[in-house]
Structure 1
């Protein structure tokens, strides 16, 4: 393997001169740099990028920790996140905790050893807040609350829940079935304040911000007198559970006339409704929550509450790079960002309730799975 010494010998210069040319961290005359470059070409020398980055105390690597890449939401978000980080000169090291039963602490240890420049934490992990703050390295949370010193980015789930419930309220739904993840996640909280979610009491600041979706959704249904029930998917990494949840919704609640569910479960609900002869949207309305590619593969175009995948990814990249010393975030072209958005909703991120947190607006994409009275603009302006 050709090394710097070989290049130095070929160019007739010192090894330190070759190092300066390769790393670009010192003065070398144009003539000398050209001699080194030509020697590198003749020898087909490829610089050791890893070694160069370590010498600069940088790796250009970001650890991205998510529950699973099987789930359409996390698969879509990961694709957007990899693209957003690549545009900033960063590459991703992916940890899918549920798929490989990997311990989050292994990635934290890599960060402590400076084998990565930062971590985007999007998986559920029960650690005290001082665990994360003690790392003293760049960490940004996605849809998680890791402590007051850790910035976080997530969708404005209060807005999303309100939009979904308002759509059902405006179209005369009577019995809504809500399909979602395990509610035990919502109980990992501490503090003096509490809220009620069904039969679960949530104390203080939950570590799982998507609870805002369920709170806003159910509170809006209560205000309008719409009955609702909840069906739980225990493990979002097991795709068969989404199909089972759709089947259970019809078996357990034969009088249901509206369903809100993650994209995959919503798609299975469409299939289950077709098998049972239920007319969509006349007899049954279905809303998909997330808006990944699956919402267009159900057999009809699903009305969806959209999470802005590119908006989330760019916000996570920006928050992380701003926390890495010496890094400068380059904002993506505004026309490219707008071209990737679909649906109707509010524009512009807003601060969350935790200092340093950021909420990305959600929107509605109207499909064939809901009735509609009036325009989507009328709903948004009246709520």
Structure 2
């Protein structure tokens, strides 16, 4: 096997010069670099990636933690993150917490032991904030707020809630049902502290996504439109969403429900079930999806949806993790999050858009 010593002998340079060229560190003259590269090509020398990473104290491996890749939102997000990481020369190590017991803890342990360079957290966590801040390694959170010093990004869910409300109010909706996960999960900090979430204090949650429900409710209330929240299962519980959709459609004749808002999965299930029941969409029932994944085109009719910007999310998340990795080891590096944000609000809010389909008037 050809090694760096062979390259040095072929090029007529020192071993340290070859090492500088291979590892792209330090100064090497153009002439020396050309001689080393020519020797590498002549000998078909392939650098030992593991040795290079050990030399740099890097693995070029970033963990991505999601609840489950079975969900279209997290499948789409993961694909965008992986592509963006690859563009930065980084590999992705995926952890699906619903599908791998203790996956989150194992990934954090790998990060602590420098077996990966950083983690992008996109899943709910039951760990207190000081657990994450005590790790002192590169971490970026998406749609979660993990504590001071940990960068957090998220979609502008308040904007999303307002967009949906304006659409429904302007099209004459009278009774809107929101179908989502267990309501108390949005106020996880309240639950941990034994507080009541009834006042909807956003200081009591690590879930920025609650803002789209609250913004929607506030806008509907101001417009005098009746609304209610129906709980489905956790994010990976598709049967829970199916049960919730059936319950809502069963109540239509009695309660006068004429609009449903849910994630792409809940909205798609609602479209299919309404069509099966011969409910006219959008004349008798309007449906708005939230996320804007490929599922909005596969439900049987094109759904109106609030679309999150997956390209931008991935760019910002990966940009943050790359900068955090680069700064690690710099004692003077700034590890604080952006200033001026509200408590439990992401550092960076990425705009969403309303994409019209055939499920609204």
Whole-angstrom CA distance in 2 between matches of 1:370 and 1:114? 50
**Residues 1-383 of structure 1: pairs in structure 2 closer than 5 A:** 1-8=1-8, 11=11, 14-28=14-28, 30=30, 32-190=32-190, 196=198, 204-254=203-253, 255-325=256-326, 352-354=341-343, 357-371=347-361
Whole-angstrom CA distance in 1 between matches of 2:257 and 2:228? 9
Cα deviation, residue 248, structure 1? 2.7
Provide the secondary structure at the position in 1 that maps to 2:159: helix
CA contact (8 A) 1:84 1:313 kept: yes
Pick closer, same or farther for the CA change 1:167–1:55 going to 2, 3 Å: same
CA contact (8 A) 1:62 1:120 kept: yes
Which TM-score applies when normalising by structure 2? 0.86
Pick closer, same or farther for the CA change 1:142–1:27 going to 2, 3 Å: closer
Provide the secondary structure at the position in 2 that maps to 1:301: coil
- 1:280-315, Cα deviation, whole Å (9 max, x unpaired): 111110001111111111121111111111121112
Provide the secondary structure at the position in 2 that maps to 1:58: coil
- 1:138-161, Cα deviation, whole Å (9 max, x unpaired): 211111111122121001111111
The worse-fitting range, judged by mean Cα deviation, of 222-231 and 118-127 is 222-231
Which TM-score applies when normalising by structure 1? 0.82
Whole-angstrom CA distance in 2 between matches of 1:192 and 1:230? 23
CA contact (8 A) 1:80 1:310 kept: yes
Whole-angstrom CA distance in 1 between matches of 2:2 and 2:245? 60
Structure 1, unpaired ranges of 5+: 328-349, 372-383
Cα deviation, residue 11, structure 1? 4.9
CA contact (8 A) 2:187 2:204 kept: no
Whole-angstrom CA distance in 2 between matches of 1:251 and 1:356? 38
Whole-angstrom CA distance in 2 between matches of 1:316 and 1:34? 37
Cα deviation, residue 29, structure 1? 5.1
Structure 2, unpaired ranges of 5+: 329-338
Cα deviation, residue 163, structure 1? 1.5
Pick closer, same or farther for the CA change 1:29–1:316 going to 2, 3 Å: closer
Cα deviation, residue 9, structure 1? 5.1
Whole-angstrom CA distance in 2 between matches of 1:134 and 1:270? 46
CA contact (8 A) 2:154 2:346 kept: no
Pick closer, same or farther for the CA change 1:100–1:195 going to 2, 3 Å: closer
- 1:320-344, Cα deviation, whole Å (9 max, x unpaired): 23323359xxxxxxxxxxxxxxxxx
The worse-fitting range, judged by mean Cα deviation, of 46-55 and 245-254 is 245-254
Whole-angstrom CA distance in 1 between matches of 2:121 and 2:152? 9
CA contact (8 A) 2:71 2:236 kept: yes
CA contact (8 A) 2:233 2:241 kept: no
CA contact (8 A) 2:138 2:321 kept: yes
Cα deviation, residue 16, structure 1? 3.1
Aligned pair count? 346
Pick closer, same or farther for the CA change 1:22–1:292 going to 2, 3 Å: same
CA contact (8 A) 2:53 2:59 kept: yes
Whole-angstrom CA distance in 2 between matches of 1:300 and 1:70? 22
Cα deviation, residue 252, structure 1? 4.1
- 1:17-42, Cα deviation, whole Å (9 max, x unpaired): 43223113244455554444344334
- 1:202-236, Cα deviation, whole Å (9 max, x unpaired): 57331111111111112222222222232323232
Whole-angstrom CA distance in 2 between matches of 1:353 and 1:314? 23
Provide the secondary structure at the position in 2 that maps to 1:98: coil
- 1:75-131, Cα deviation, whole Å (9 max, x unpaired): 111122222223333332211111223431211122222222221111111112111
CA contact (8 A) 1:193 1:203 kept: no
CA contact (8 A) 1:189 1:203 kept: no
